[in-house]
Copies of this chain bind each other. A is one copy, B any other.
Amino acid sequence: MPVTLKDIAQQVGKSVTTVSRALHDFDDVSPETKAEVRQIAEELGYIPNIHAQRLQKQRTDTIGFIMPTYGPRFSDPFFSEFLAGIGNQAANLGFDLLVSTRPPGTMELKAYQKNVSSPRVDGFIIVRTRQQDQRIKFLSQMEIPFVAFGRMLDHDDYAYVDEDGGYGMELITCHLADLGHKRFGYLDAPAEFMFGHYRRQGFLDGLKDNKLEMDENLMVTGDLTQRAGYQLGLDLLTMEDPPTAIVACNDLMALGVISAAQQLGLEVGNDVAVTGFDNIPLAEHCHPPLTTVHQPIYQIGEMVCEMLIKQIRAEPIEQEQIILQPSLMVRQSSIGTNNQTKSGI
């Protein structure tokens, strides 16, 4: 049987009201009463009933995160790290985290609606913004608090954090151009993802900066998995006039390309350059280590969470829209080895 305010009130010989105020440290309660109430509450192991509190306060102190999932084999290192970021920050700030999983579409939107109307959550964190993002349209229109990881093209009056993927990709492209590459392959993301759009644009801008042309046949699209990267890598590298550098819009696909190249007997970094984007932990310790752009996912999770909670609490926010400047991580997958390691141990 859970301990209630009533139980404490009986023990102390005061009213429920007084006990409630004592526990909240109101200043119209005598110090003696406060001390006694606190002591008894402690002894009894009192924990407030959260539903009674929420029903009364009309607030949930909970944020919602609806993970867009596709098939069952859903293993994206992005999500665990991001989740750790928002989870830790939410705990710091005294919020709960309610997680749902839905494939993008109608049911997903319904989940947003239901979670806020019930009301299970006070606001949402959105990830992987999409073209014509229904989630953002809906939440904006209903004036429901939310913060997104990612921008949109046609809509800019909402809170977000994003990395400047265009700039990051420009860095990569210029890096490869500096190495003398002229013929590029590009592994694009499905068109719906905004991050793919910015990264692709940055890549094309990078080419333009260097007065290079893109062969449209070398621009291919994959579902962001290593499997897709592997397949597309094979496709590109077995063309009659293959690219000398392959730029993937994320690390997972880049790793697939590396496998494909090695499968074909090519030495990545020397025979063909491969680059990724995200700097997932795997990127550093694969072989060869992957040249990529760092994206601080954990920190972005923390930032987004904090911004959302401030928004919910109607606290002032320094900056509602944050674009992080990325940094390039140059590793052997683009610059190759100087053959020291090749020559032997």
Contacts and interface: CB of A to CB of B under 8 A. Distances in A.
Interface stretch (A163-171, A213-221, A222-230, A313-321): A222-230
Given A47-B118, A50-B119, A282 B226 contact: yes
A255 interface: yes
Contact of A99 (B78, B83, B225, B299): B83
A88 B102 CA distance: 7
Contacts of A297: 75
Copy tally for this chain in the complex stands at 2
Interface string A297-322: 11100000000000000000000000
A265 to B, nearest CB: 6
Given A55-B51, A55-B55, A67 B84 contact: yes
Given A88-B69, A99-B87, A119 B80 contact: no
Given A100-B97, A287-B262, A80 B84 contact: no
A91 B67 CA distance: 12
Given A97-B99, A99-B99, A67 B49 contact: no
A264 B345 CA distance: 6
A254 to B, nearest CB: 12
Q: Which of A76, A84, A285, A287 has most B Cβ within 10 Å?
A: A285
B285 A259 contact: yes
A286 B265 contact: no
Interface in A36-93: 45, 47-52, 54-55, 60, 67, 69, 72-81, 83-85, 87-88, 91
Interface string A182-209: 0000000000000000000000000000
B67 A119 contact: no
A64 to B, nearest CB: 10
A72 B298 contact: yes
A47 B110 CA distance: 12
Contacts of A81: 73-75
A72 B98 contact: no
Interface residues of A, number: 72
B76 A265 contact: no
A48 B80 contact: no
A91 B201 CA distance: 38
Contact of A77 (B75, B87, B227): B75
A287 B265 contact: no
Given A54-B51, A98-B98, A226 B285 contact: yes
A128 interface: no
A96 interface: yes
Interface string A310-344: 00000000000000000000000000000001111
The 4 closest A-B pairs by CB, nearest first: A87-B101, A262-B287, A259-B287, A79-B80
Given A2-B119, A264-B345, 11 more contacts: A67-B84, A73-B298, A75-B280, A77-B80, A87-B100, A96-B100, A227-B284, A255-B282, A265-B341, A265-B343, A265-B344
